[in-house]
Structure 1
Amino acid sequence: MIETLRHGKLQPTQEEYKALEAASLKLAKSATNFSEEVQALGKRRTETVYMEGRKLLSTAESTRHGLITSSRLKNRATFIRNIQLLFGGPKESKLDSAAIKARKRLTRERCEQIRSLGTDGMTLWAAAFAPSQWEANLLPKPTFEYVLEFLELQGTQLWPSEIYDILTSLGEEEPLQNSPKFQEYLNAVDTPSNQQGKLAPERKRRRVEGVHPSDDQSRGASRSDLAAEIPKHRHTLKHR
């Protein structure tokens, strides 16, 4: 195309010339965007970012596996602090310096990014990483974004009853009691029958409790009936 324009004996009309000019501008913009994306990809894939990112992803996977096999949180305090931070943000003070204000602003931005992982992704993040591991002044942005990009869950998750109990308690107390975003998250976590793919784990839970799905007289129960099974599941796990 370029050779044709350079050496060809083209005699475009005024309208054709305008169309070519518009196309060239669009192509130039696309080339610039492509170049920027390639450069951004390179930054995300530097050796240091890759190594540190893989370590954090390995921690997340180990945490997920531990939650499934042991049915308990390894660090309850970390999970609680993370949930409070993710939905409440860092506390502000009139005495904060400009540097501290800037750091807290970046932390709030990261909280929003972590919430964008969705219900299960956010739950796993809160269980896996202490706030000191991911706050803006401690974890470099490229590494943080790498972990966000590659944190994966195979399907939806049915978390240990301890997690449901903690979240329910947090939802009944300040400051999260009046947080619409937290209440939305709580509803999604606490009602597995409302999440796509949760019905199969719901049946698995009944088998754990000694009830086979074929013996369940309420297989056609409404969503609210399915959700009502959760407290019984929690009670069973607590007394194991």
Structure 2
Amino acid sequence: MHGLNMTTTTLISQLEALFRRVEAMRDKIQTAQIRPAKSQLEKFETLAIKLTEAATKVSEEIRALTNAHTKRPSEQGSNLVSQAQSSRESVANGQLNLAILRRNLTLIFEGPKDSALDSSQIKARKKVIRERCKTICGLDPDTVLMWAVAFAPTVWTAGTMSTDTFDYLVEELDSEESHTWPSDMYKVLHTLGAEEPLRGCNAYHDFVKAIDDRAVSPSNSGRPRKRMRAEDREEVLYLKFRGLLSFLQQHEASGSDLKMICPWGGVPVPFIDVNLESSLGLSGRLEFTLQSSKALIRHILASSAATAEVSH
């Protein structure tokens, strides 16, 4: 590796020196007070053509070198892509490393915590980590989740993974085909969102909502996706409803009337859009529209402490 770096440095130095010589030669020709003979002019033209051809070839070789470097995955990058794909399959088979998922999501959406005792080196490292977290947050929600289940934070944070490998991994994983996660994953995501430190993180809740939306409505994403199973849709809906009851209890609104408008024959949706502030503030009555089956409605009502008026 050391020898390769020395060779690259030498080539760059030689190219810089050549450029300076060509620049100097141009200035000399511009200022030279000469009257070349016809044969000498022809020689000038021949050399100028050869110089242009050589410069073009050098430029093409450098461009090819750049493209090869950009497209060529490192061994580490290829292994990490395989690891991510394997982890996704493991989660589908019920093998989820909850500790890694929690640590990753907390770091990705909250960023590293600063300390007054941080050295300049640690501050620089945390700055890079913060930038990587921002990059990951900007990826497709499915990619964010895939990243969070696949790699421990120690794998992808600064100082461990090179920038080239990180960029390669981001590009490769974000082009992966999307898929539906098992119902347990949705439970975990909502549970983490109800606890510190993610409870007050708007970016995290937007991420979970995007995962929920896509689980039932594949059209919300331009990426290919398998449709969610009916039992998983009901599981997500039930979980969201319980979360809503928990919110009402926390805000001392559990005694409010709850009106559910249920058109029959619809498909279960995984989220409930309400304006809690206006609904509770104006009348103390919470109204929302829920498309589901009678069996699911009975299951939800039987499992909750809330009273409900069902309209149909």
User: Which band: TM-score by shorter chain?
Assistant: 0.5 to 0.7
Larger RCO, structure (CA 8 Å, separation 6 or more): 1
Q: Secondary structure at the match of 2:195?
A: coil
Query: Unpaired segments of 5 or more residues in structure 1?
Result: 1-33, 210-216, 233-240
Query: Unpaired segments of 5 or more residues in structure 2?
Result: 1-59, 235-262, 273-289, 300-312
Q: What TM-score, normalized by structure 2, do the two folds share?
A: 0.52
Q: Which has the larger radius of gyration?
A: 2
CA distance in 2, matches of 1:171, 1:51: 36
CA distance in 2, matches of 1:111, 1:37: 31
Task: Deviation per CA, 1:29-85: give whole Å up to 9, x if none.
Answer: xxxxx9998665443345xx42111100000111112222x1341x11001100000
Q: Percent identity over the alignment?
A: 33
1:153 matched to 2:199? The reply is: no
Q: Secondary structure at the match of 1:201?
A: coil
In the TM superposition, what is the alpha-carbon distance from 1:174 to its structure 2 partner? 2.2
CA distance in 1, matches of 2:94, 2:264: 26
Which residue identity is paired with 2:77?
Answer: G
Task: Deviation per CA, 1:97-139: give whole Å up to 9, x if none.
Answer: 1110110010011111112221100000000011111001110
Judging by fraction of residues, say which structure has more helix: 1
The RMSD of aligned alpha carbons is 3.2
> Is residue 141–residue 207 contact of structure 2 (8 Å, CA) maintained in 1?
yes
CA distance in 2, matches of 1:86, 1:54: 22
CA distance in 1, matches of 2:137, 2:62: 26
1:201 matched to 2:227? The reply is: yes
Aligned residues: 184
Judging by fraction of residues, say which structure has more strand: 2
Structure-2 residue corresponding to 1:110: 132
Q: What TM-score, normalized by structure 1, do the two folds share?
A: 0.66
1:76 matched to 2:98? The reply is: yes
Candidates 34, 59, 66, aligned match of 2:90: 66
CA distance in 2, matches of 1:54, 1:200: 25
Which residue identity is paired with 1:220?
Answer: G
In the TM superposition, what is the alpha-carbon distance from 1:177 to its structure 2 partner? 1.4
In the TM superposition, what is the alpha-carbon distance from 1:161 to its structure 2 partner? 2.4
